[in-house]
Structure 1
Amino acid sequence: MKKIISLLILLCSIGSIYGQSFTIASYNIRLRTQVDTGNLWMDRKDKVGNLIKYHDFDIFGVQEAFKDQMNDLQKMLPKYAYVGVGRDDGKDKGEHSAIFYKKERYTVKKNGTFWLSATDTESPNKGWDAALPRICTWAVFLDQSNGKEFILMNTHFDHIGRVARTESAKLMLQKAKELAQGLPLIICGDLNVNEQDEAYFTLANSPSIQDTYELAEFVYEPNSTFNGWGKNIQKKSRIDHIFVSPAFQVKKYAVLTDTYLGKYPSDHFPVVALLDW
């Protein structure tokens, strides 16, 4: 009996030492607006929630999530908790670039939000030539399956300001260095640029992170990550991205093209990566 117990303990310890897999996703869920006739949040919110449940993301970042949408997600996804604040007041108002995580697996060690700005990263403001205030929410997580820590940063770059996007990428790398302190790093979000833009190159060509799309052993990419409610689907174009530091092995990458009755849960498709570490 003692030998069996010892063997079980050994097997558990080997599993925790030599790695665990998890899925990380980035999902722009599209804000709630009456402009979206035929695609109102009240009609599609259950589809967003069920998509997340079915694909069983371990941890994911959202963009364009306003407080009422955050509340809806929490009700639909009781296994998850989140960190994040609204960009307009640092509390509840405006878009959240929040991070949801499975409560049973992850513990938040510390977290915060900063504004993408050259002048003030600590309070609401617009940076460079941005049309709107933009934020990055980050958290240091303890993965209870193996006792390791990592940092995840989730963001949504401006849709108008070209300078703002490039400078935001530079700021993200600067902040990552300050906040990570050597921890394994993940950066995800809607960058509002594809893989041919300077802002993308700033991140993808940095020495600290690489695009999971490029690293993945297997890629499922039926089409672009932005769908425009079916009106703007391209064969290839990724504006939603996940980057990781060398501590992670990328087993799979996918653009998830789930639909319902010929409609889309959001005007973006979620992107997801399966990571080993």
Structure 2
Amino acid sequence: MRKKLFSTAIFLLFGAANLSAQTMRLATYNIRYDNKQDTANAWLKRVPYLTDLIKFQDFDLFGTQEVLYNQLLDMTVKLPGYEYIGVGRDDGKQAGEFSAIFYKKDKYKLLKQGTFWLAPTTTAPTKGWDAALPRICTWGQFQDKATGFTFYMFNTHFDHRGVEARRESAKLILAKVKEMAGTAPVILSGDLNVDQRNESYTLLNTSGLLKDAYTTAKVVYAPNGTFNGFDAARKTDARIDHIFLTSTFAPTRYGILTDTYGGGKTPSDHYPVAIEVRYATKK
């Protein structure tokens, strides 16, 4: 018995000696589309604060929602260290909202990318089930240039009205993650338009494949929910913006970033969710 324990200890020590702990900073951010009626919170007023927040937090990758093409252009100018992937949901090109993924171009190599529609027909612009609007999920396969660590990130925005559409979207994304990523590490970010008490959220969080970082992070900073409606005084515990992870990633910190500017204005009508994760790579 003693010999077996000793052998096990040597194996664990040898295994640990050949692994290196790595850290990654991730976020999801619904930036609010460029609505011309948002006069006090117009996009061109908000974008400097929104992009400065991103630069200060130094995210490695982050998923976005509600981004129109002109907003993508503005963000890429102000975030020169990042590239993005994604297409417009209305035509698969530049029309309509994007669910773009931004990543540090010097740190990660993009291996594959794509977008599928949240609908029975996933390959072309369409509305699914009882959805009010076309909805998409953009994904990328990335490789850390320094370590060779390879992983997938999926980013989405569920419908704001369709109950069936949200439920079926959750099922579809789980199926796509299994089909496309297999056993590879996966990050799923998105605005689900439902909070942590809803069945669509529960389908993902109890899938055995993905887990909400909020529920497993060692340190949680959540002074508010994630939707603010451009009102910093609004208080809620509802989290409708989420980051889910496969078991490769161990979240160490989770935060809902309630930054304001100009005497209480918010850079978006959602607060970004930011997490820090640790994972192991071979030396």
In structure 2, the residue matched to 1:72 is 74
Equivalent residues of 2:232, 2:265 under 8 A apart: no
Structure 1 residues 16, 99: CA separation in 2 closer, same or farther (over 3 Å shift)? farther
In structure 1, the residue matched to 2:38 is 36
CA offsets per residue over residues 77-110 of structure 1, 9 Å max, x none? 0000011000001011100000000011111110
What is the Cα deviation at residue 181 of structure 1?
Answer: 2.1
Residues of 2 paired with 1:238 and 1:78: CA distance? 30
Equivalent residues of 1:217, 1:251 under 8 A apart: yes
1:109-258 map, 5 Å: 109-118=111-120, 120-230=121-231, 233-258=234-259
- TM-score under structure 2 normalisation? 0.91
In structure 1, the residue matched to 2:29 is 27
How large is the Cα RMSD of the aligned pairs?
1.4
Gaps of 5+ in 1: 1-13
- TM-score under structure 1 normalisation? 0.93
Runs of 4+ in 1 over 3 A off after TM superposition: 14-17
1:89-108 map, 5 Å: 89-108=91-110
What is the Cα deviation at residue 235 of structure 1?
Answer: 3.3
Equivalent pairs, count = 263
In structure 2, the residue matched to 1:45 is 47
Residues of 2 paired with 1:231 and 1:217: CA distance? 26
Give the aligned residue type for 2:160. Answer: H
Residues of 2 paired with 1:232 and 1:144: CA distance? 43
Residues of 1 paired with 2:24 and 2:128: CA distance? 34
Secondary structure of the structure 2 residue equivalent to 1:196: coil
Secondary structure of the structure 1 residue equivalent to 2:165: helix
Residues of 1 paired with 2:213 and 2:145: CA distance? 23
Equivalent residues of 2:140, 2:153 under 8 A apart: yes
In structure 1, the residue matched to 2:274 is 272
Give the aligned residue type for 1:246. Answer: S
Gaps of 5+ in 2: 1-15
Give the aligned residue type for 2:221. Answer: Y
Give the aligned residue type for 2:136. Answer: I
What is the Cα deviation at residue 232 of structure 1?
Answer: 7.5
What is the Cα deviation at residue 18 of structure 1?
Answer: 1.5
